[in-house]
Amino acid sequence: MSEGGFGVDILAIAAHADDVELCCGGLLAKTAAAGRRAAVIDMTRGEMGTRGTPEIRAEEARAAAEALGLAARECLGLPDARIENTEAARLAVVETLRKHRPRVVIAPHPTDLHPDHARTGEIVRDAYFLARLRRLGAGGSHRPRALLYMMHHTPFEPTFVVDVTDSFDRKMAACRAYVSQLHDPSSREPRTQISDPLFLEAIESRARYFGSLIGVRYGEAFQAHETLPVSDVVSLFGGGGETGRRP
């Protein structure tokens, strides 16, 4: 158990500003709207990005955090495009977990196509365990209840899908905050996957697909790092009077 209990309910950790918006922005906005606390840690400033600057992206990240209703957002300042699973990186995340004391941690999948995403997933996976060792590093100890992986480039078989229909507009507003990265017909900067005019449509299509798997309009997929405990199966599947799926 954590020293001092829990702080934020969900802490999402990603390599770059805009990663969490694209992958789990709906869940973060839904968490905030329910009166719970969601926070984000960006591992890098995105200084190796093809478009924009670190300063511009920092401003965009602040706007996106406001759109999602985040309780906090920080940047660890690790080197963009050169994230490595080192002792220093692990300790930085360990101390971050102890500072924010999340109940649930979200990270990129360690097998993602993008090396920074994959290494971030590895670092968070290791720090998730190491944070409970009070003699390692500073800040006492903390033991989150769960580690979840969000889906970015590389698909995986989800453990569950979250209905984000009611928060999807806020997710997309947060995505659109990254003006420097998205399609701009007047821009002379190089074209990227994100700047493609159809990119946001692809994000919506993915959400529609995962929503269709659970009978709702929009969904976000997650994979649990460990077996999830369930104490009430009936409530899990809509035992309060609702069915588990919408028609």
Contacts of 202 (CB under 8 A, 6+ apart): none
End-to-end CA distance of the chain: 40
Question: Which DSSP symbol is given to 46?
Answer: -
Compute how many other C-beta atoms are within 10 angstroms of the C-beta atom of residue 2: 19
Compute how many other C-beta atoms are within 10 angstroms of the C-beta atom of residue 188: 5
Determine the pLDDT at residue 247.
41
Q: Are 103 and 10 in contact (CB under 8 A)?
A: yes
Domain boundaries, the chain: 10-225
Assign domain 10-225 to its CATH architecture.
3-Layer(aba) Sandwich (3.40)
Amino acid at 147: L
Tens digit of pLDDT for each residue in 37-94? 999 999 999 999 999 999 999 999 999 999 999 999 999 999 999 999 999 999 999 9
The model's confidence at residue 4, banded by pLDDT at 50, 70 and 90, is: low
Average pLDDT of the chain, as a whole number: 94
Tens digit of pLDDT for each residue in 157-198? 999 999 999 999 999 999 999 999 999 988 888 999 999 999
**Model pTM above 0.75:** yes
Tens digit of pLDDT for each residue in 121-152? 999 999 999 999 999 988 899 999 999 999 99
Contacts of 102 (CB under 8 A, 6+ apart): 6, 7, 8, 9, 10, 11, 39, 144
The answer on pLDDT for 2 being more than 70 is no
The dihedral sign for the CA sequence 164, 167, 173, 177: negative
